[in-house]
Amino acid sequence: MLDLSTQDLRDTAIEFLEQSSPQRLQTLKQLGIARYEFLTKMQLNEANIICIMRFFKYPNQLKFPNLMGADLSGLILDGVNFIRGNLLEANLEGSSLVNADLLFANFTKANLKNADLRNATLNETVWLDALVDECKFGSVVGLTKLQRKDLQLRGARFNC
């Protein structure tokens, strides 16, 4: 178990990321943030240390996932709830977000190359300068015609 009251927040984040997935989930349960189960899958690197520090700073005040700059590349995140998620400059390259709830998510400058967003719910999402080469959208819900056309022009695939 991590003691957030006595350890430096950075050291705590590193310790968390060094744990196994079941150990991480136990920590998240103790903090009351087990709904962010995807944190059990993240790699130990600088981007994710900073991300975990944000989650641990005020765990009782978390409402929406702040994943700004996080490295979620290559992860299986099928069915994840990133509603109102801040994914500004996040790395989601090669990740699977099939059937994910991404309503109101901000993907500004995010890397979604080769990601799989088939059947995701994408109402009110923001895609400013997002990298979407070979990103699979399939039959998603919630994109406007303009968003769809813009994403296709930038390399997104809708007929998967």
In the chain the domains, ranked by start, together with CATH numbers, are 1-62 (no CATH), 64-160 (2.160.20.80)
pLDDT value for 3: 52
The single residue listed with the structure tokens 């744990």 is 19
The 3-state DSSP class for residue 132 equals: coil
d(CA 77, CA 30): 22
| Range list of β-strands (E), 62-136 | none
Question: Rounded to 5 degrees, what are φ and ψ at 5?
Answer: -80, -25
State the pTM of this model: 0.91
pLDDT value for 7: 59
CB of 112 closer than 8 Å to CB of 130:
yes
DSSP-assigned states of every residue in 133-149: TT-B-SS-BS--HHHHH
Q: Tokens for 55?
A: 């989650």
Give the residue among 82, 92, 78 at the shortest CA–CA distance from 131: 92
d(CA 103, CA 112): 16
pLDDT value for 6: 43
Per-residue pLDDT of the chain (160 residues; tens, 9 = 90+): 455 554 589 999 999 999 999 999 999 999 999 999 999 999 999 999 999 999 999 887 788 999 999 999 999 999 999 999 999 999 999 999 999 999 999 999 999 999 999 999 999 999 999 999 999 998 878 999 999 999 999 999 997 6
CB of 129 closer than 8 Å to CB of 112:
no
